[in-house]
Amino acid sequence: MSKKYVEVVVSRSKSVMDYTLEVITLLNQGMDEVKIKGVGREISKAVDVYNSVKDRLGDGVDLVNTEIGTEKGKKTSYIVITIARKY
């Protein structure tokens, strides 16, 4: 069985709460994994979104992986936080 997953890229235009609701909605719609990505200054916001989702779903969600690195070509840092639905 293949896993369904989707990537949410956090930008300046929407709030932490907007992204929190988006991620929770995606998990409720049956996504197995959601990757929360933040680039540059939005890295902090991506972590805020993860904490906000974790706060709300608690044991219903697992932190699968946290990847950090530099975007190819550019010199900007990024983070990709992968979370999974538990039930």
Instruction: Give the residues lining the site for its own copies (CB under 8 A).
Output: 38, 40-44, 47-48, 50-51, 54-55, 63, 66-70, 77-79, 81
Which amino acid makes up residue 50? Y
CB closer to its own copies, 4 vs 76: 76
Grouping H, G, I as helix, E, B as strand and the rest as coil, residue 12 is coil
All residues at 6 or more sequence positions from 72 whose CB lies less than 8 Å from its CB, including other chains: none
CB closer to its own copies, 25 vs 51: 51
* Smallest distance from its own copies to CB 83, Å: 11
Task: Please state the separation of Cα 81 from the chain's center in Å.
Answer: 5
